Structure 1
Amino acid sequence: MNKTFVLDLAYLKDTCLRLGLCLHKPIGICLILAITLASCSSNSKSFKEAEREEGESINLTHYNIIFAPDLSNRVNTKLHPRPLNDQQIVHSVLENIYPAILNHQRSDNQLDRFTVSLVNKKLVNEYDINKSLLNIDFSQFKNQRERIDYIKGRSEATLEADIQNFAQEFARVNEIATKNTFGADVWSYLNAGVDNLVVQEEKDPIIFNGTTYRNQYRNVLILLTDGYIEAGIYDNKGCPEKNQCYYLSGERVKQFRQAFKQSGAKDMKSFFEENNYGIVPVSNPYLEEVEVLVLEMYDRSLSQGGNATVHPTDTEILKLFWSDWLEKSNVKRYELRPLMTTEAEVEQVVMNFMGVR
């Protein structure tokens, strides 16, 4: 075997890995495939000819996990006590990057990304946030070997160190937020903040040897909010139509409960629909590609012991408004979760939502 063929073989081997031809296969099989491709004679089709053929299509799915904290006064656990804080929620997900998420139905070619997108984007400068620390992106690697060295801690930058840096920076930002709180307009965030910088769209397909390889993404938005939407616009300006508003404050929840009780209606959802209650839907086509997991809805109507003080409870009303809102805003998929008590519970909820077992 001459030197030129060795170089070509190395190139073909890396090409196989990048295209996913060796997913779940020993490297020896990849070498055999590379030799076969390299040794084909005049009977083989050229790369350009293969591009024009319609053959098998293989979808490679990658995760784009976005943590979106609202950093409102809810992060103050003295004001709104919770069993877990946002740092613990984020950390429980980061700890599952490897092996759970990266190896889910894959062994090579991961392009997963884990990042933070603030509901109030002005806080990046206000809190002097280092966005580079809040980003773990596996698409940065040129080949699978670099990716593995990073995961296994055999390179200058390592996954373990980046997870630690991510968690520390996120904790620092949350600590600042507890002492210097700003509002969080979740409505505006879903309407305009979820954009092409947040959402990963399907890459241009690669056609190789008659097979089409598509790199697709599951955009999972973990929205860290309590369910009460403080839009900063109230009264007539905040409600362009009767009972249709841009916000869902604690006061509005109380008003809906009172109106429902006074009506004598037995079914809350029917009353909601018949009287055209709701949150004004957002118009954002990117949401059609986003799966939203809302953590954690905080029920202000419960006593300190966790008992209901009124019926229907705040959580029941919040879920009714949010479900209607997200569906009419064409969100791809969503789940609304109440307070959780342990990191193990968070892990189970998030992994189940992502379909990672």
Structure 2
Amino acid sequence: MKKKILSLLMIFLITCICSKGTKAQQNQNLNISFLLDLSDRIDPKKNPGLYQRDLQYIKSVEKLFVKHIKRKKMLLLKDQMQVFFNPIPEIQDIELLSQQLKVDFNPKSSKNDFLNLDKVYNDKPVKIYQYAIKDGNYIGSDIWRFFKNNVQQYCIKPDHRNILVILTDGYMYHKNSKIVIKGKSSFITPEFLAQKKLNTANYLAVMKKSNLGFISFPYNLKELEIMVLGINPSIQSPYEEDVIKQYWSDWFKAMKVKRFELRTTDLASSVEAVISNFMK
């Protein structure tokens, strides 16, 4: 009898703990940021279908955001989502599109705000990509400088779960940010990695010996979680994906990022489960 009572008590306690955890998760405030790499990787001639995958990844995240805010009580709403670029692309209506993609839900949010969210995130990202492709002036994406100057101010809010989603092929290059300091660099390209002899199985030893990696910053990003989606390594080296992920992993660890996920480009249906699991 005593064993039965103890078992029932244990089940009750476990249920209570799980229930509290689920409730806390539902009530957390989300602050989701996208950083879009609008370099020539989105050129349909170079990478057919790639930009459509970006759009589907964005939609997957947005759907989870909508699901989250709909579960919360109106009085507890304190959630937001926005899109960033660096540098700002010189394309049609970019200021307006960026403003429209910055959404903020609070107790004063109306029913229309909820209804419009899906439409905004269905229509506006498509326009940004299409305008960038039509313009054809792919000036690169300065992800390194975004972290240097903006990530702390733009992507981290107190009392929020801060998630940054970076859509990129994993390479990093901008003509105004070509810096090398004692082996560390602000960029990597297929040519750069080949030059550094990072195309063999002993790439880790080469990186360690030559002190290779991204130039990091003395930040403590313990309140930031990051998903890098769309990594698209060159097929010229069987170790390119490993090298790219090593660069990013070392960089995030050096800046004490709370948690991160690095994913190569894949069908949106496959990546959706990864996104969902990350955002649980």
Deviation of 1:164 (Å) = 0.5
Structure 2 CA distance for aligned equivalents of residues 160 and 349 of structure 1: 26
Structure 1 residue 339 displacement after superposition: 0.9
Displacement after TM superposition at 1:82 (Å) = 4.2
Separation in structure 1 between the aligned mates of residue 157 and residue 252 of structure 2, nearest angstrom: 20
* Distance of 1:259 and 1:338 partners within structure 2: 19
Shift in Å, 1:278: 1.0
Q: Is the 8 A contact 2:144 2:187 kept in 1?
A: yes
C-alpha separation in 2, matches of 1:273 and 1:163? 46
Identity of aligned residues (%): 24
2:38 to 67, 71, 75: 71
Query: Residues of 2 paired with 1:245 and 1:132: CA distance?
Result: 33
- Matched-pair contact (CA < 8 Å) for 2:97–2:128: no
Q: Which has the higher helix share?
A: 2
Give the deviation of 1:292 after TM superposition: 0.9
Aligned residue in 2 for 1:31: none
Tell me what 2:7 maps to.
none
Structure 2 matches for 1:136-155, cutoff 5 A?
Answer: 136-139=103-106, 141-142=107-108, 150=110, 155=111
Q: How does 1:1-357 map to 2 (within 5 A)?
A: 61-82=28-49, 84-99=52-67, 101-102=68-69, 107=73, 109-121=76-88, 123=90, 127-139=94-106, 141-142=107-108, 150=110, 155=111, 157-180=112-135, 181-201=138-158, 216-233=159-176, 238-241=179-182, 243-256=183-196, 258=197, 261=200, 267-285=202-220, 287-301=221-235, 309-312=236-239, 314-342=240-268, 344-355=269-280
Shift in CA distance, 260/295, structure 1 to aligned 2, threshold 3 Å: closer
Letter in 2 for 1:270: A
Residue-by-residue CA offset, 1:282-336 (whole Å, 9 max, x unaligned):
2444x332111001101222xxxxxxx5332x21110111111111122222111
Contact 1:295 1:336 in 2 (8 A): yes
CA distance in 2, matches of 1:135, 1:346: 24
Structure 2 residues not aligned, in runs of 5+ = 1-21
User: Is this contact kept in 2: 1:65–1:220, CA < 8 A?
Assistant: yes
Deviations 1:97-152 (A, max 9, x none): 333x2367x5551312111122323648873443331022112x24xxxx5xx4xx
Unaligned segments of structure 1, at least 5 residues: 1-22, 25-58, 202-215, 302-308
The letter for the 2-side match of 1:75 is: I
Distance 1:255 1:168 in 2: 42
- Contact kept, 8 Å, 1:297 with 1:336, in 2: the verdict is yes
Asked if 2 retains the 8 angstrom alpha-carbon contact of 1:218 and 1:290, the reply is yes
- Answer whether contact 2:101 2:124 (CA < 8 A) is retained: yes
- Report the Cα offset of residue 187 of structure 1: 0.4
Aligned AA for 1:252? Answer: F
8 A Cα contact 2:53 2:267, kept in partner: no
SS at match of 1:196: helix
Aligned Cα RMSD in Å? 2.7
Which amino acid in 2 is paired with 1:65? I
CA distance in 2, matches of 1:244, 1:197: 25
- Taking the aligned partners of 1:259 and 1:347, their CA distance within structure 2 comes to 31
1:117–1:198 CA contact under 8 A, matched in 2: no
Indicate conservation of the 8 Å contact 1:66/1:220, yes or no: yes
3-state SS in 2 of match to 1:183: coil
User: In 2, Cα distance between the equivalents of 1:259 and 1:113?
Assistant: 40
Q: Output the CA distance in 2 between the equivalents of 1:114 and 1:68.
A: 11
Comparing 345-354 with 219-228, greater Cα deviation is found at: 345-354
Q: What whole-Å deviation, never above 9, does each CA across 1:258-287 have from its counterpart, x for those lacking one?
A: 3665xxxx64323322321111112444x3
TM-score, scaled relative to structure 1? 0.64
Shift of 1:246: 1.1
